[in-house]
Structure 1
Amino acid sequence: MNADPGRSPRPTTPDQWDEAVLDAIFTQSDVGLHVLDTELRVVRVNPVAVGVRGIPSERIVGLPATEAYAPLGVDVDEEMLREVLATGRPRLDHLVRGRPFTDPRSEYVFSVAAHRLLDAAGRVLGVVLTTTDVTERERAQARLRLLHDAHERIGSSLDVERTARELVDVTVPGFADTVVVALTDAVLRGREPGLRSHDPAPLLRCTATGGTESGPRIPTAGALLLPGIFGEVLPTEPRLLSPEKDGAGGTRLVAPLLVRGQVFGAVVFQRAEGAEPYDEDDLELADGIAARTATCLENALRFTREHIVMTALQSWPLRQEEATQRAVDIARRNQPDGSGVGSWYDVVPLSGARVALVVGQVDRAGLSAVATMSRLRTAVYSLTTLDLEPHELLARLHATTLRLAGEQETGPGGDGATASCTVAVHDPVGGRLDVARAGTSLFAVVRPDGSVDTRPVDDGPLLGGEGPPFACASLVLPEGSTLCMAPGEGGPRTEDLVNALAHPGRSPEAMADDVARLLAPDRVLLVARTRHLSSHELAEWTVPFDFSAVGIARGHVEEQLRKWNHPVDPFTATLVVSELVTNAIRYGAAPIVLRLITDSATLICEISDAGQAAPHLRHAKAVDEGGRGLLICATLAENWGVRYTPEGKTIWAEVEAEEETADD
């Protein structure tokens, strides 16, 4: 029977409202409700509660909470619940994890809020728990944490294999039960990685693996893995491989390690059979981790390749200084890495048995510094063939540095490299030392009496900086003096250096050991002990300024070759000396000095005069009566040249002994 429309409805009481709200919450809300008594037994649950997902509520009502929810993998925090019962303070956002019967392979996360229940008289009835599914929120936060860990932990070193190992450590077991990282052979050998467009199925070699005890089987290190575990071809982006397709247990996620189309390798993440399968969100996470790893691999490979290049350039050219010069005995220490990259030393044999000792350092770091250093070394070798004074050599080297700096500038704000360099030229005939310095470096002279001069020459402006004039000095050193040279700033204290060097009786190697302990481990060091040529290696005469003296000069040469029992052909040697003396008398000025220097199978002939006229090689015509002197010397001698001094010039020629041939 319908209600009378003219009569007002009966008002709803507060108890009726409470009952209606409670009924709606238990029957319609998507928030799980669990009512426990004071003994923490389950009194009532609503249909969406985690405890009854897939099972009837009567199977858990009346059971202790720990027993009721144990089959779902939920760990009930009884201590927290009893604290709520005792204090009445609610507990909010308490996270619990479990695997509902409706989806046993997936772990779910629920946010639990606990409130104490009281009756009208204020007696404690129990506790009510509300649960909200926050699985997606927690998974998103876990993915962010894993991606953050990948950025923090992957790439801690510039080593290719260690970077692959770090990828495994970051993702096992949080993201995968088994991880396999494979790199291409080119990357493992430090070579340029190939482009994927050229080879969609590159040769991949197992580099790093890891997994849990329950994880799938992992391949052995060094095994070839493509085609196979990564599929037939390398994917261009992360993708899932169906376990049904190849019969493998669990789900697999394959991600390529690519940077700008270059293939560094690939990684496969695999979960054990029965574990939660990968989804689209996992593909995005794997893409981020793989991209981070590929970038770190690129950095590591670039470092490896640059290190190889730097090592090759740093040690170029490989020479045996002891075999190419006799003016000094050498000890060196050469481990230029770290801040010492771009530093170098050189021992350059010069004409007249002289030697140039060079140390330098480019103020930049990395491959560009080593490349600049290599080009400066080449320039030094080229300039030394001109027999320039050390300060003039630095002036030419300064111009070279400026040109290199201009080439390296990339824009208006670019700045080129500068360099420090010290050049010392020692002449074993008389012991003269000419030295010039650009920038700051360690340069000390130890005389045979034990005295140490730590500043025989002042510091000068940097190469590529302010420019000439450069600081220079000339010394005459007794035989057995020791030079200690190291590029760069920040040398040892003067007192410590003097204590290390003031023992001239020790060998250069021993002195180098003591000084190296005072220097940074990445600085190069050169220690050289001087020697003078003896009468068995040097002969010298003053030649009268008259054409009749040409015969006298030939006689000196023939007699000296007999005394030395030198293997050089006497006719060749006397002809070269005759032409050089004639040239000096005709175009030079008195006094004229003839000097012979022997070096086993080589004879160095030098003619010095007071003239400054530059000699030049001429090609005389057939009817000319002269003009063939230097041409004859250039033809007969192994090498020849001219060097200038404040007193005049010296023309020199090296004559080699002919090799003996066996009879047929």
Structure 2
Amino acid sequence: MWDEAILDAVFAQSDVGLHVLDTDLRIVRVNAVALGSLGFQAERMVGLPAAEAYAPVGVRVDGTVLHEVLATGRPVIERLITSRPPADPQSRRVFSVSAHRLEDHAGHVLGVVVTSTNVTERERAQDRLRLLHSARERIGSSLDVERTARELVDVTVPDFADWAVVALTDAVMQGKEPGLQGQDSIPLLRCAAAGSAGGDIPVPEAGAILLPGVFGDALSATASSIMSGTGGRDAGTGIAAPLAVRGQLFGAVVFHRRAGAEPYGADDLDLVDGMAARTVTCLENALRFTREHIVMTALQSWPLRQEQVTQRAVEVAQRHRSGGRGAGSWFDVIPLPGARVALVVGQVEHARLSTVATMSRLRTAVNSLTTLDLDPHELLARLHATTLRLAAEQDGPSDGGVPTASCTVAVHDPVGGRLDIARAGRSLFVVVHPDGTVDTEPVDDGPLLGAEGPPFACSSHFLPEGSVLCLASAAASVDDGPSTAAVVNALVHPERTPEAMADDVDRLLAPDRVLVVARTRHLPPSELAQWTVPFDFSAVATARSHVESCLRQWGHPADPFTATLVASELVTNAIRYGAAPITLRLIADPSVSAGLICEVSDAGAAAPHLRHARAVDEGGRGLLICATVAENWGVRYADDGKTVWAEI
């Protein structure tokens, strides 16, 4: 009596669906909760085999599992099954099902009782969480706007939508700053990515212009919205969402489910807003990277190559692949007075947000310091001071620490073939002589700019004409990069051009490294003449005579009066204020019409400077005259004296 009362109470009052089956798996009794969740009446189910009774609602009864419960007595706990009620076939319901064996007091098997709990909302919530987690993991794997759009489509189709379209504004597609979102209009949108769950669903091609109707009658400016039907397609449901942040519109996305599928609900809007927020953050990062990459590439390619000015001293080939990670790497080929040329390769260490700016400022400093005609190690010492100033200007440690940099400076003089080298940090530097001999360490590694500071490693060499210099920025680590033997093998080919050798070496280097390959040249006799001038004022007239006869012999178009005037004034100053020996040198400059360089060297260390003589003064006008009639003038110092030069 008590047993029957308890059983009736459980069936009548329990909020769990109860299904009682006999040993033949026929339905004996079903409570109201189970009937309501399935949309059936009791008289239509009792007496039927379970597989037959539940088939109309899309539930597949696994008879093997139930027979095993009957045979062994081991229950089945919380197995998930799905169904679609006849009254609402578009709605998918999920039940957690458990099965237990029924026995009488004597232990005889009577059947099996199956309990079912509707866990549809719980499973939907977990599905949304899984999808949102997948979106955070998979969207934004690259800094490319179109790939980011494709990742959003791949994450959502087919698990969340039967088809999806991501459209971006023209500005975003071109890597530009997105415009502000209008109140009443949507800017021109182009398809960035689209995908469908089956071939029977047409989607627009990438780059196609999409009309606003694809995203409903009105695209919300702040959140996603549900729409019925999408762009004239089948009468399913869709969700359109803007890809916008801080009032800037990057684009829009639409998801669609075909007719017969479960329609979108309010909870799906929150999921779409989360995925859209993740996508627009990644798009913003990608655009920022694109803009910085454009700036970096522009800075690294500045200034333009100086082939015409520098090819008298070296034949140069340069390589830089802007797709690499080396935002702080740079190279320069800088013409210097006296037909010399400076080869510079540098790299800002430990890339961070300010790397491009630091590289640009250091590069500008190098170009400015070369106008002072400093020795390479002196130039690096002053560049080190500049790096320290940049470090002092950093806002704080949030930028990743103070900047440091490696830099190699090599100055080649085509008169005599002298090569002066100085190096801060480490880099690739190989010298190959015309006879095939190789110097893989022409200069030692030095301290980094902005770190320990001077003195920096330096050395001097005299190279025969046709020697090959190979400079490249430092590798990421000591072990990262090609072997020295592989680099040398690409350079030991005197019959090949520097461009061909640079191609071979470039293939050996990582994309983040810059490369300069140069073959040295010496000035021919038709462009160079020099004389030793006696340390006596009477030698000034002889110097003028040498200049006149040299210009006639060369057939040089420079004005003889201007050339002799400059030469006589520089020689006079060397005799008056300098020390023996004195050397007068003329260098023809074929790159400039009527170009001529006049140099006077002496052993004195006194620094020449312009004076503005008074009308009654008998002297003091030499450098002023030179500065007036010459295009440019200057002085450079060496261990054994100085050289004053003027470009005519």
- CA spacing shift, 1:234–1:614, aligned 2, 3 Å: farther
Q: Aligned residue for 1:481?
A: 467
Counterpart in 2 of 1:329?
A: 315
Which residue of structure 1 aligns with residue 351 of structure 2? 365
Instruction: Classify the secondary structure of the residue corresponding to 2:122.
Output: helix
Trace 1:397-546 onto structure 2 (pairs within 5 A).
397-411=383-397, 415-489=401-475, 490=478, 492-494=482-484, 496=486, 501=491, 504=494, 506-516=496-506, 518-546=508-536
1:633–1:200 CA distance, 2 compared to 1 (3 A) = farther
Deviations 1:410-458 (A, max 9, x none): 2499621111111111111111111111111222322233222222222
Matched residue SS, 1:529: strand
2:251 to 265, 275, 278: 265
Comparing 117-126 with 299-308, greater Cα deviation is found at 117-126
Counterpart Cα distance in 1 of 2:434 and 2:272: 70
| Residue number in structure 2 paired with 1:648 | 641
Q: What is the aligned counterpart of 1:304 among 277, 283, 290? A: 290
1:127 and 2:112 matched: yes
| Amino acid corresponding to residue 229 of structure 1 in structure 2 | V
CA shift, 1:502, in A, is 5.1
SS in 2 for 1:400: helix
Which range is displaced more, 316-325 or 429-438? 316-325
Q: Deviations over 1:16-71 (max 9, x none)?
A: 11111221222332222222233323233222215874332222333322222222
1:653-664 maps to which residues of 2 (within 5 A)?
653-655=646-648
Alignment correspondent of 2:574: 584
Aligned residue pairs, count? 640
Work out the CA distance in 1 between the residues paired with 2:231 and 2:71.
58
SS at match of 1:97: strand
Contact 2:447 2:454 in 1 (8 A): yes
Q: Give the letter for the 1:597 counterpart.
A: I
Instruction: Give the SS at the match of 1:126.
Output: strand
Measure how far apart 1:569 and its partner are.
2.5
Deviation of 1:501 (Å): 4.8
Instruction: Select which of 599, 605, 615 maps to 2:608.
Output: 615
Q: State the shift of 1:341 in Å.
A: 3.3
Change (3 A) 1:338 1:413: closer
Deviation, 1:381, is 0.7
Picking from 38, 41, 64, the partner of 2:26 is 41
The gaps in structure 1 that reach 5 residues or longer are 1-15, 656-664
Asked whether the equivalents of residues 322 and 329 of structure 1 are also in contact (C-alpha less than 8 Å), the reply is: no
Could you report, residue by residue, the CA deviation over 1:388-424 in whole angstroms, capped at 9, with x for unpaired residues? 0111100010011111122234249962111111111
Q: Cα deviations across residues 339-384 of structure 1 (Å, max 9, x unaligned)?
A: 5331222211111111111111111225522321221111111101
User: Corresponding residue for 1:594?
Assistant: 584
Deviates more, 1:366-375 or 1:432-441: 366-375
How far apart are the structure 2 equivalents of 1:53 and 1:331? 78
Which residue does 1:285 correspond to in 2?
271
Deviates more, 1:463-472 or 1:237-246: 237-246
Percentage identity across paired residues of the two chains: 72
Other-structure match for 1:256:
242
Q: What is the aligned partner in structure 2 of residue 56 from structure 1?
A: 41
Larger deviation, residues 460-469 vs 337-346: 337-346
Question: 2:174 is aligned with what amino acid?
Answer: R
Q: Quote the offset at 1:516 in angstroms.
A: 4.1
Runs of at least 5 residues in structure 2 that lack an aligned partner in the other structure:
none
Q: Distance in 2 between matches of 1:650 and 1:92?
A: 96
On the 8 A contact 1:512/1:525 being kept in 2, the answer is: yes
Quote the residue 2:333 is aligned against: 347
State the distance in 2 between where 1:346 and 1:411 align.
30
1:376 lines up with 2:362 in the alignment? yes
Other structure's SS at 1:206 match: strand
The 5-angstrom pairing of residues 160-309 of structure 1 reads 160-196=145-181, 201-213=186-198, 218-225=203-210, 227-231=212-216, 234-243=219-228, 249-309=235-295
2:472 alignment partner AA = A
The SS at the match of 2:297 is helix
Q: Secondary structure at the match of 1:579?
A: helix
**Per the alignment, do residues 56 and 412 of structure 1 end up closer, same or farther by CA in structure 2, a change over 3 Å counting?**
closer
**Superposed displacement of residue 515, structure 1:** 4.2
- Cα separation, partners in 2 of 1:212 and 1:50, compared to 1, 3 Å: farther
Aligned pair 1:603/2:596, yes or no?
Answer: yes
2:607 aligns to what SS in structure 1?
Answer: coil
Instruction: Give yes or no for contact 1:257–1:267 (8 Å, CA) kept in 2.
Output: yes
Q: Give deviations 1:310-360, integer Å, cap 9, x for gaps.
A: 222222222143543411222333226545331222211111111111111
Q: What is the TM-score with the length of structure 1 in the denominator?
A: 0.89
CA distance in 2, matches of 1:411, 1:157: 27
2:565 is the alignment partner of 1:575: yes
Q: Which letter does structure 2 place at the counterpart of 1:613?
A: A
User: 1:245 and 1:547, CA in 2 relative to 1: closer, same or farther beyond 3 A?
Assistant: closer
Task: Give the counterpart letter for 1:128 in structure 2.
Answer: V
SS of structure 1 residue aligned to 2:272: helix
- CA drift of 1:488 comes to 1.3
CA deviation map 1:216-249 (0-9, x unaligned): 7644543444642334554243332443899872
Q: Which shifted more, 238-247 or 453-462?
A: 238-247
- Counterpart check, 1:99 vs 2:92: no
Q: Counterpart amino acid of 1:608?
A: S
TM-score normalised over the length of structure 2: 0.91
Q: Which one-letter code corresponds to 1:379 in the other structure?
A: A
- Is the CA contact (8 Å cut-off) linking 1:193 and 1:263 kept in structure 2? yes
Aligned-partner SS, 2:354:
helix
Q: Provide the C-alpha distance between the structure 2 equivalents of 1:520 and 1:398, rounded to a whole number of angstroms.
A: 27
Deviations 1:63-110 (A, max 9, x none): 322222222111222221222122221111111101112332210001
Cross-structure match for 1:83: 68
What is the match of residue 553 of structure 1? 543
Match of 1:49, SS? Answer: helix
- 1:566 alignment partner AA: H
Tell me how far apart the structure 1 counterparts of residues 163 and 613 of structure 2 sit (CA, whole Å): 84
The one-letter code of the counterpart of 2:100 is H
Partner of 1:633: 626
Instruction: Output the CA distance in 1 between the equivalents of 2:279 and 2:495.
Output: 57
- Cα 1:75–1:133 change in 2 (3 A) is same
Structure 1 contact 336–342 (Cα < 8 Å) conserved: no
Give the match for residue 17 of structure 1: 2
Q: 1:264 to 1:117 in 2, by over 3 A?
A: same
**Whole-Å separation in 1 of the counterparts to 2:608 and 2:338:** 18
Q: Which residue of 1 aligns with 2:377?
A: 391
Check whether the contact 2:430–2:488 (CA below 8 A) recurs between aligned residues. no
When residues 47 and 215 of structure 1 are mapped into structure 2, their CA distance, relative to the original with a 3 A threshold, is farther
- After superposing the two structures, state which structure 1 stretch, 435-444 or 107-116, moved more: 435-444
What's 1:660 paired with? none
Deviations 1:129-174, CA, capped at 9 Å, x for gaps = 1111111111111111111111111112221111111111111222
C-alpha separation in 2, matches of 1:290 and 1:553: 80
Greater Cα shift, 578-587 or 70-79: 578-587
How far apart in 1 are the matches of 2:194 and 2:29?
A: 49
Q: Counterpart in 1 of 2:125?
A: 140
The alignment status of 1:566 with 2:556, answered yes or no, reads: yes
Contact 1:32/1:49 (8 A) holds in 2:
yes
When structure 1 is superposed on structure 2, of 381-390 and 56-65 the one drifting more is 56-65
Residue 584 of structure 1: CA displacement?
2.8
Equivalent pair of 2:240/2:255 in contact (CA under 8 Å): yes
